[in-house]
Structures are given as structure tokens and as C-alpha cells.
């Protein structure tokens, strides 16, 4: 940063200063003090940004989805002291209330061209003033999971609903009244609704939504790059449709490196799922236990209540044999064509990508994988580097009549 990042594109960092954008623009000579208020008027502060780092999603399928985070550094010397919270003459300072405009819990967002990379709120400003050098401010941000984590429910008696329906019900509760954008799948499982599943007053909203996903659906629950609360169904069969094909050959998307992991944590040879009503099921693989010892995944306090679905979930959790897998791919946008950069910037959690690795003294490995997490680094001298964390998925292709490979109706070729 700031602005134009070499071989990567144009980037924009915007903060809500609570100032009427008609009265104040950073790139304008009009420097009238605005008025703080509930409306969101984003101001472009890109010219003062030194670098940006952000991460969303999870690194492995074993992890829980948490809040996405971002941090960026501002040069207050370059800004002429406008960013100093003690500067009562700054255009950002609200003299009527005697508070800085650039304050915690203001909205923040980052774009590459018109593609959002992160959206959330400011958590902290950390100022580092050095009289002999440049004065820098590190701004730490978090996505809207932070807001859900600070909201609590009244006593709640749920009715029979799928996992996605329950999420929508919770978001619509008067004490929650979530007004952000959402993309909520219906869900593949049914949640309990008897007395055992009643929700006590004071239950944390985010914790309950995560309980829906982590103990019942086993899908994905996260904030997208444009601040859309997203719920995706149980991870399973994926129709073959990679949004990008990465390899070190031909015209495919080039990459910097790929990680191959062979992890003992993959092994689950005993799975136990217990609903809040006491219904329980255990599934296990004795052959795997003899080889890899007993490695248990135990889900208690599950919101599932249908016996068959509890049994199916226990079976779903079993991973009796560890397999080497491609777990992370790193790419710098400078390595790509302009069209490829635009595509890569749009990749989000839940998308499918294809990776081919040419391993010396072995050959090529090609896998289609789902994206579970994204880490990004944007620097003026280093460009824009992205790491995509991946997970295995069962890939199927559409049946194509008369095609030698895709014209055979089997477990991996399906009717459209």
C-alpha cells in the first residue's frame, strides 16, 4: 500500500469516521468538520496505509470457524497528525462531544478494485509515536462475529426446524434483531425442540449458532468478505466446478508453494454423538483402532434429536485411515495475468479450487479441494499474497453422454 500495489491492482481502505462525506473528503481541499452520527459515511484513508493483513475461516477441517480479523498500519506523520486522537483540531475530531471520530467500533472495509477483501469493525487503535521517526498506528479489526458474540438471548423455546431455519429464527429474535446481510442454507438435519432443547436466558448468540453448526450440521458458518453471515450445509459431495486451476504448467494459475500434510489428527476411529435429550450413538472402526490406537471424536450437547440423523452423523465423523493431502496453497498476484488476479481475489470460503503439484522423482498430484480459510498480506513492496487453506471433498462430475470418461454413470458421474 498505499493505493496502487505493484503488479497487484488498486486497493482501497475505508473507515467510517462518522463524518458527513459531503462536508469532508480526504482527497479534497474542503476540510470542514463533520458531525458524528449513526450513519455510515466511509472515508478513503488509503494514502496513509502502509500495509494490510487479514484472515478469515479456518486453517484445517478440525478447527472451528471463528471471527475473521484484519490489521493495518497507518502513517500519522504522512497524515500530518490528522489521526492523532488528542488532536482536537483534526477534521476527524468531534468538538461538540469532545471525542475522536476515528474510534473503536467504527465500520471498516478493504477492496481490491471493486472486490471486497474484508469488512468489519475497528477493535483497537495502537499508537506508536517516535519524535525522531515516523509515527505509526496499528488498527486491529474484527468481522461481525464480534457483534454476535456480544449479543445474548432471552429464554427461547424452539420449535421443530432444520439447522438453517433455526439460525434464521435466532437472528430474527427481538433481542438479536440482526440486520446484516445473510446467506443461510436450509440445512440437512433437524434440530430438537422438546424441553431438553430449550435455550436459557443469557445464552450467547454466536455460541448458540456455532453449536448448531458444530454439533449438528457440521458445515460452515462464517462472515464473507462483504460482511454476509454465511451458513453452508454439511461438507460432502461437491460438483466438479473449480473456480481456479492452479499448477506450475501451461496457462494455469501459477502459485508460490503448496503444503502437503500427513496428519495424525485426521484419524477418527471412534465417533460418539449425544443429543441434549440423551439419544446417543457410537460408531467405530476396530481395524483402525488396532493400527492407530483409539482416537475419538465426541460430540456432546448435540442439537440433533432424530435417532437416524445422530447415527448418520457418527458415521460421517469416522476417518479411519490418514491420507496425505494438499492443505494450503500460496500465490502472489504478481505471478498472474490481470484476468487471473481478478478471479483469485474473488475466491471465498466454500469455493472449489484445483491444484496440480509436480513432485520431483515422483510425478504429478492433482486434487480438487474446498477452500476453508484465507490469509492475505498486502504490502507496497511485496504485492498481494494469498494463502488458501483447503480440505478434501468428494468430487462428482455431470454426466456427459457419449463421453469416454464422463459418459459412464457411476458414483462420480451424476445426472444434472
Question: What's the confidence (pLDDT) of residue 34?
Answer: 34
Could you report the per-residue pLDDT of 295-315, keeping only the tens digit for each?
Answer: 999 999 999 999 999 999 999
- Which of 119 and 240 is assigned the larger pLDDT? 119
What are 30-83's pLDDT values in tens digits?
Answer: 323 333 233 467 888 899 999 999 999 999 888 999 999 999 999 999 999 999
> Phi/psi at 363 (nearest 5 deg)?
135, -160
Give the integer Cα–Cα distance in Å for 85 and 103: 8
How confident is residue 17, by pLDDT bands cut at 50, 70 and 90?
confident
- Is the per-residue pLDDT at 366 higher than 50? yes
What's residue 20's pLDDT?
47
Distance CA 148, CA 162 (A): 21
Q: Between helices 205-212 and 163-172, what is the axis angle to 10°?
A: 170
Specify the pLDDT at position 388. Answer: 98
CA neighbor of 104 nearest in space, from 146, 163, 132, 75:
146
- Whether residue 28 is predicted with pLDDT greater than 50 in this model: the reply is no
**Do the Cβ atoms of 295 and 309 come closer than 8 Å?**
no
Mean pLDDT of 7-29: 60
- pLDDT value of residue 362: 87
The tens digit of pLDDT for each residue in 32-44 reads: 333 323 346 788 8
Which one is predicted more confidently, 239 or 97?
A: 97
Indicate the average pLDDT of the chain. Answer: 87
Q: What distance in Å separates the CA atoms of residue 66 and residue 393, rounded to the nearest whole number? A: 21
Higher local confidence (pLDDT), 410 or 406: 410
Amino acid at each position: 500500500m498505499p493505493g496502487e500495489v505493484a503488479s497487484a491492482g488498486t486497493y482501497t481502505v475505508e473507515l467510517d469516521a462518522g463524518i458527513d462525506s459531503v462536508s469532508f473528503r480526504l482527497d479534497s481541499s474542503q476540510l470542514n468538520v463533520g458531525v458524528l452520527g449513526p450513519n455510515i459515511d466511509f472515508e478513503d484513508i488509503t494514502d496513509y496505509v502502509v500495509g494490510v493483513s487479514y484472515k478469515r475461516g479456518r486453517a484445517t477441517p478440525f478447527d472451528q470457524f471463528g471471527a475473521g480479523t484484519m490489521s493495518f498500519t497507518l502513517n500519522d506523520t504522512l497524515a500530518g497528525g490528522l489521526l492523532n486522537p488528542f488532536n482536537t483540531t483534526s477534521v476527524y475530531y468531534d468538538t461538540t462531544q469532545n471525542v475522536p471520530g476515528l474510534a473503536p467500533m467504527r465500520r471498516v472495509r478493504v477492496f481490491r478494485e471493486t472486490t471486497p477483501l474484508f469488512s468489519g469493525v475497528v477493535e483497537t487503535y495502537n499508537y506508536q509515536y517516535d519524535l525522531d521517526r515516523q509515527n505509526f498506528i496499528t488498527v486491529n479489526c474484527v468481522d461481525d462475529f464480534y457483534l454476535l458474540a456480544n449479543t445474548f438471548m432471552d429464554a427461547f423455546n424452539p420449535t421443530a426446524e432444520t439447522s438453517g431455519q433455526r439460525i434464521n429464527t435466532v437472528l430474527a429474535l427481538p433481542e438479536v434483531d440482526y440486520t446484516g446481510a445473510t446467506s443461510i442454507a436450509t440445512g440437512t438435519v433437524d434440530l430438537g425442540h422438546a424441553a431438553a432443547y430449550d435455550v436459557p436466558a443469557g445464552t450467547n448468540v454466536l455460541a448458540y449458532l456455532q453449536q448448531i453448526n458444530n454439533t449438528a450440521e457440521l458445515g460452515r458458518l462464517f462472515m464473507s468478505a462483504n460482511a454476509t453471515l454465511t451458513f453452508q450445509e454439511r461438507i460432502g459431495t461437491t460438483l466438479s466446478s473449480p473456480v481456479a486451476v492452479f499448477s506450475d504448467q501451461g496457462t494455469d494459475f501459477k502459485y508460490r508453494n503448496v503444503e502437503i500434510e500427513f496428519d495424525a489428527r485426521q484419524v477418527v476411529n471412534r465417533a460418539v454423538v449425544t443429543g441434549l435429550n440423551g439419544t446417543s450413538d457410537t460408531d467405530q472402526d476396530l481395524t483402525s483402532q488396532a493400527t492407530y490406537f483409539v482416537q475419538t471424536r465426541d460430540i456432546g450437547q448435540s442439537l440433533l434429536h432424530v435417532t437416524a440423523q445422530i447415527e448418520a452423523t457418527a458415521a460421517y465423523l469416522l476417518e479411519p485411515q490418514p491420507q496425505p493431502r494438499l492443505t494450503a496453497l500460496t500465490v502472489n498476484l504478481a505471478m498472474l495475468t490481470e484476468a487471473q488476479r481478478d478471479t483469485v481475489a474473488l475466491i471465498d470460503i466454500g469455493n472449489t479450487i484445483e491444484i496440480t503439484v509436480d513432485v520431483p522423482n515422483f510425478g504429478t498430484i492433482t486434487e480438487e479441494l474446498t477452500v476453508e480459510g484465507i490469509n492475505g498480506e498486502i504490502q507496497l513492496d511485496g504485492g498481494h499474497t494469498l494463502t488458501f487453506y483447503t480440505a478434501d471433498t468428494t468430487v462428482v462430475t455431470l454426466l456427459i453422454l457419449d463421453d469416454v470418461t464422463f459418459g459412464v454413470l457411476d458414483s462420480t458421474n451424476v445426472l444434472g
